[in-house]
Amino acid sequence: MSDPDQNAVKKPLTFDNLPEAISQLLERVARIEDLLNRERQPVQPENEILNITDAAAFLRLTKSTIYSKVCRGELPAYKTGRRLYFDKAELTEWIKSARKNTNEDTRRAARNYLNKNSLMPVNTRRAYRR
């Protein structure tokens, strides 16, 4: 596929051929916009609502596990009639809130707690080995 504009001999831009050059530029811009519009992916809404099946696929859990977690109040959900719905952003936050602390996070929290409460300065504790 060869573009006829690419094979054309490029003329030097002068005041006399300026209208023709501008029309060619406008045609090229229109083609580029058409290509971009065809290639554009549909934007997912930020507050996407999921049903139980979609939530199970998103969380990689079984439906029964999701029902149990909702019943115990562990998983954020909306109930309309007999149906459960989930906000995808809330489910993502729920996943992020379950982050397990690293050993360094735990050490840092312990040091901060001890220093803040003036219990025992970290440098005088013998049991703490790094």
pLDDT tens sequence across 84-127? 999 999 999 999 988 888 898 888 888 888 877 766 655 655 55
Q: How far apart are the first and last CA of the chain?
A: 66
CB 62 within 8 Å of CB 56: yes
Residue 22, SS3 per DSSP: helix
All structural domains of the chain with their residue ranges: 49-97, 102-130
pLDDT tens sequence across 20-58? 888 999 999 999 988 888 877 666 656 799 999 999 999
The closest alpha carbon to 51, from 81, 75, 83, belongs to 83
